[in-house]
Structure 1
C-alpha cells in the first residue's frame, strides 16, 4: 500500500514540476540554425549547444511579465554585450539586442524545438 501511495505522489510531483516550468525554458533553434538552451528559475541563462560557439553562454534574462523578458545578450562573434529583450509568442521567441538606450537594435526570431 505504501509503495503505491509513494509512486502516485512521485508521479504527481513530476507532473507538477513540468507545469511550473517557465515556457521560455528549453531548446531553441536560432536564426543562424544553431541550438540554444535556455534554462534557470529566477534568471534564465542562454547557452549555445551547437555551432561554432557551442558551449558559450550568450545571455541572461529575467521575466518581466506577460511573456516578456529583459537582460543582457552577448554576440558570440565579438563578445560584445547588449541590453536585451525577448518576447515569447507560442513557439516563437523574438530576441533583440540594443545599444544607445534602445536607439539601435537588431532582432531575430528563434523557434522552440
Structure 2
C-alpha cells in the first residue's frame, strides 16, 4: 500500500513540475515593426500551446491585434530538461506556420521556427 501511495505522489509531483515549467506569460522578441506580443502558455490535451493575449507597439503602448486569442505556438511536447519539440509556431505577419522547438532556461525561452534544416530562433522572456 505504501508503494502505491508513493508512486501516486511521485506521479503527481512530476505532473505539477511539468505544468509549472512552461506555464505563464512570455514577452516575444520585437518583430520588424518593433511590436511585441505577450504569449500565454497552457496545457492543450497533454501538450503545450501558447496564445497571443496582448500586443504592444515599439513605444510600449498596448495595441489592438486581430490575432489576440489565437494560438501562436501549438502542440509542443515536453521532452524534459526544459526542452520542448514536435509542435508548430505561427508567424502572423507572414501567415506561415513552421515546425518548432523550444528550450526554457530560467526565465528565458528560446523559440525556434524551422523550415527543412534552417531554424530561426527568438528569445522570449517570462513576465508572469
What TM-score do you get using the length of structure 1 for normalisation? 0.75
Q: Which residue of 1 aligns with 2:103?
A: 87
Give 1:77's aligned residue. Answer: 93
Give the structure 2 partner of residue 111 of structure 1.
Answer: 125
Runs of 4 or more, structure 1, over 2 Å off, are: none
Q: Residue in 1 aligned with 2:49?
A: 45
The secondary structure found in structure 2 opposite 1:78 is coil
**Unpaired segments of 5 or more residues in structure 1?**
1-15
Separation (CA, whole Å) in 1 of partners of 2:79 and 2:115: 20
The alignment partner of 1:54 has SS state of coil
Distance 1:24 1:65 in 2: 11
RMSD of aligned residue pairs (Cα, Å): 1.9
Q: What is the alpha-carbon distance in structure 2 between the residues aligned to residue 81 and residue 109 of structure 1?
A: 18
Where does residue 6 of structure 1 map in the other structure?
A: none
The answer (yes or no) to whether the contact 1:56–1:76 under 8 Å persists in 2 is no
| Alpha-carbon displacement from aligned partner over 1:45-102 (angstroms, at most 9, x marks no partner) | 11001123321211221101211001111111222111100000001000000001xx
Q: Are the counterparts in 1 of residues 39 and 72 from structure 2 also a CA contact under 8 Å?
A: no
Give the Cα–Cα distance (whole angstroms) in 2 for the partners of residues 111 and 40 of structure 1. 19
- Secondary structure at the residue paired with 1:50? strand
SS at match of 1:77: coil
Give unmatched runs, 5+ long, in structure 2.
Answer: 1-11, 31-35, 56-64
Q: For 2:26, which of 25, 28, 53 is the aligned residue?
A: 28
Q: CA deviation at 1:22?
A: 2.8
